[in-house]
Chains A and B, each alone.
Chain A
Amino acid sequence: MKVLLDAERLCRNFGGLKAVNNVTFQVVEGEIFGLIGPNGAGKTTLFNLMTGLTPVSSGTLSYQGERLTGLPPHRIAEKGIGRTFQNIRLFKGLSALDNIKVAQHVRTSSGLWGGFFCTPSSRAEEKRVDEKAWELLKLIGLADRAGELAENFSYGDQRRLEIGRALALDPRVLLLDEPAAGMNSAEKRALTEFIRAIREQFKLTVLLIEHHVPLVMNLCDRIAVLNFGELIAVGNPAEVQKDPAVIEAYLGAE
């Protein structure tokens, strides 16, 4: 088993608040790793540290032995770490297709300026970008609505589109922040299957923040529990469920 992500004593303070405090964990290639904890435990802050949105106060995070802490978000994204948000952040004024295409240019050789001059190679590349975007749209079941603006999609469709956009980065690691929020139980079951399927198809490692405990227990290979910014347990679902510290954090001490 290969360690893909290695968080070493990560800390982030906001004034006097220790939002993430001395958190150390490792994520193994190919696993679905759950992050749970009460509200305000620091789960989203941890995602922000991992994607470079929030600088760490101290500690290091490395990806395949390479240090990520200190890199700007777009460099971390280039390395193959994609994410979605708890509150969906699509480009509302762009079509579904364009939302996906925007994320693809880091994987093209001509980068940002490609397609400006119509050279044969840039055209061929543009065609590949286009084909891949359509493939992703089919995968998330929105191919027939490719031209519609993202803001016109239903909540569930927007969530899937956001995952599709993150996949367009060609990520090795996908961070999903509460992907099942606001879904009914049938949709949650479908989402569970979807996450499993994309892990197989894209050989992903998935980190997942989720409040819905049955979903996490069912889907995740390992789970980390955060409380008040500290990691109180890491292990497989059965171990974590029995951990006294976890029970205390969720139900209060006796």
Chain B
Amino acid sequence: MTLAQFLQNLLNGISIGSVYAIFALGYTLVFSILGIINFAHGAVFTLGAYFTYTLAVGQFGINGLLSGLNLDLKVPFALSLLIGAILAGLVGVLLERLAFKPLRTRGADSLLALVSSLGVALVIVNAIQYLVGAEIYTFPSQVYGDIKPAMMFEVSGQPVVIRTVQVIIFAVCMVILSILGYLISFTRLGKALQAVAENPTTASLLGISVDKIILATFFMSGFLGGLAGTLVGTSFGIAGPYFGVTYGLKGLAVIVLGGLGSIPGAVMGGIVIGLAEAFVPPDYSAYKEAVAFAFLFIVLLVRPQGLLGRTHIQKV
């Protein structure tokens, strides 16, 4: 591998890895509060991308209920991204109220919550297909305004391409990670969140409304999922209603790799999986998902608790 190729892979890996990180954080937040995996997270990811597309482009294809519709809203991309993510966050809140809370208050097994979230995921995916068909939608490069789609550098005589989308993705992810880090470590909401994650009963006795914290968590989780969906959609296009499924699974790999429930672990896991995929040689790029999961297995053999997960020491 030449230096230029190495740099190119590194760049691609970090960019997509940072999206994996914020997507996986959505799983992690819910897991650390409720101890369950929200299987509808991949569907929320998909929805987020469609929301943003509707706002920023709003031009639909030849299938589905909305076929031929051209909303032409032309909302500026940054605003569409934000609104799309907020809408996805509200879907997260709805999800909690419809799929999780009814089961939780009846004391159902957490496996049931998993199945119920899987059910919601299928409903969302089918609803999207019913509305806009199973076509591929892409964001035209003009949506970002009048910027060049890519920049090219030469490293020892060979080209390295930096796509504008990659820079945008990375910048957005870093901003979101910083805000989230600040929110969790330094604000009252963050402290309450940590308290509920550790012991909901005790938190409630200190006047913390556990219900509100759970809602806030689902909002943040949906927000992160929707945002990640949009970012991947802008980079590779929205490949139909099922496009969140692969990312949903990959997100699971990320949180297991990083250590279940660990926030820095999810970030690190995302970057590691992104890099592992990017360094798959082009001839084998069709198998890069397999490479990511193979990597996961190897790491888990050495560190079953994940990269940054804490081992559970049972105190007697």
Contact = CB atoms under 8 A, between A and B. Distances in A.
Interface of A: 51-53, 72-74, 77-78, 82-83, 85, 89, 91-94, 98, 101-103, 105-106, 108, 111-116, 129, 165-166, 168-169
6 contacts: A72-B204, A72-B209, A93-B194, A94-B198, A102-B208, A114-B187
Nearest to B186: A115
A52 B210 CA distance: 14
Interface of B: 183, 186-189, 191-192, 194-195, 198-199, 201-210, 212-213, 216
A53 B205 contact: yes
B160 to A, nearest CB: 40
Contacts of A52: 204
Nearest to B195: A102
A175 to B, nearest CB: 10
Residue of B192, B198, B206, B212 with highest tally of chain A CB at under 10 A: B206
A51 B203 contact: no
Contact of A94 (B183, B191, B205): B191
B44 to A, nearest CB: 23
A93 B205 contact: no
A179 to B, nearest CB: 16
B210 A94 contact: no
A129 B192 CA distance: 14
A165 to B, nearest CB: 7
A105 B192 contact: yes
Nearest to B203: A102
A83 B205 contact: yes
Contact of B188 (A82, A85, A114, A168): A114
A112 B192 contact: yes
Contacts of A72: 204, 209
B212 A51 contact: no
Given A98-B191, A112-B188, A116-B189, A51 B205 contact: yes
B207 A91 contact: no
Contacts of B186: 115
Residue of A51, A105, A112 with highest tally of chain B CB at under 10 A: A112
Nearest to A110: B188
A91 B202 contact: yes
Contacts of B207: 74, 77-78, 103, 105-106, 169
A94 B183 CA distance: 15
B314 to A, nearest CB: 14
A43 B252 CA distance: 45
Nearest to A166: B206
A103 B206 CA distance: 5
B225 to A, nearest CB: 21
